[in-house]
Amino acid sequence: MTNLTTPGIPAQKQFADDVRSGLSRGGQKELPSKYLYDNLGSALFDAITLLPEYGLTRADERILQRHARDIAKFIPHRTMVSELGSGSGRKTRPILNALRTRGPLAYYPIEISSAALASCEMELRDIESVSIVGVESEYLAGLAEVAERRAADLHLFVLFLGSTIGNFDAGADARFLREVRQTLRAGDSLLLGTDLIKPRDQLIDAYHDPRGVTAAFNLNLLGRINRELDADFDLRQFEHVARFNEATQSVEMHLRARHEQSVAIRDCGLTVAFAAGETIWTESSHKYTPQDVAELADASGFAMQAQWIDEKWPFANSLLVAA
Ligand code: AVI
């Protein structure tokens, strides 16, 4: 695998800045969900995808396995593929297999973590006629880099799977897709995975599983702050909370202080006071209707071309075309 890297603000400085601003504000304390994914957090997320209560990843994979050839029919023969957040790459195999039958194919997974890129290459390197060029970068910068490298006559097919779009703040999903659209040419394609609305109990079980894996995933964010920013969070003094926010149609994860306490975060030059029961909001996972996805596409410069829905665990993969 070839690796392309985009320079940016040093990651540790950005992390310290985000933690300082999220924990020192008045009102609801917050931490950006992207920081859940250090090496341990990514391993815990992989474990979440195997939980019986968390059907999202299996639904996404079922759609891709069953419909990869139907999806490929919409994609022009001369194409290259890029994926925003490839993770291990396992989900992508059926799509690459369906497209490579038409000739050699270049696949550009974009990941912030070199470990994820390495495991993606391990997973997919046996696929014949597919060359993998990893891009170690944030999504939009990485996609701009990929778009710059394409030949004039080549179509670009972007994958954004797993309902990661649902983890953006309200309104930020459309803003992000508009920025993706600006990087593309009219006629390029985007396959967008979105988790759909389902009964509240089922959603809460998925985000507050009885084995405590999601709790460990959430609490690890405090452990990461301890490790990387010289802080002294006592993880036992916080508990994982998952709640459904009706107004935003999102499952929210929080970390709730079991008691009043204060925590020093030395690399942020900060001591944070927590009241008993106060929470840090760590993630939102928006749940869509199929119609929401069509409206989101419209609002961001795409048109819906086709949509595949898993009935067992309501989840949609929608093929959007850049208008
Ligand atoms: C990555 N993302 C789509 C997951 C989700 O379901 O929102 C992250 C996750 N958080 C808790 N469990 C899984």
How far away, in angstroms, is 316 Cα from ligand 1 center? 15
* Mutation to probe ligand 1, out of 35, 36, 45, 46 (largest number of atoms < 8 A from CB): 45
104-123: pLDDT as tens digits:
999 999 998 888 899 899 99
How far away, in angstroms, is 65 Cα from ligand 1 center? 21
According to the model, what pLDDT value does residue 170 have? Answer: 85
Closest C-alpha to 84, from 106, 112, 57:
112
How far away, in angstroms, is 78 Cα from ligand 1 center? 34
21-64: pLDDT as tens digits:
999 999 999 999 999 999 899 899 999 999 999 999 999 999 99
- Rounded to the nearest 10°, the torsion over CA 280, 242, 219, 44 is -140
- Show the ligand 1 pocket: residues with CB < 6 angstroms: 48, 56, 162-164, 166-167, 207, 214, 283, 285
Residue 74 pLDDT exceeds 90: yes
126-179: pLDDT as tens digits:
999 999 999 999 999 999 999 999 999 999 999 999 999 999 988 999 999 999
Q: What secondary structure does DSSP assign to 202-221, as a single string?
A: HHHHHHS-TT-HHHHHHHHH
Q: Kindly state the tokens that stand for 142.
A: 């990485």
For tokens 């999504």, name the residue.
139
Closest C-alpha to 276, from 262, 288, 287, 265:
262
Closest-CA residue, ligand 1 atom 11, reads: 207
| C-alpha–C-alpha distance, residues 158 and 48, integer Å | 25
How far away, in angstroms, is 187 Cα from ligand 1 center? 30
Q: Give this prediction's pTM.
A: 0.95
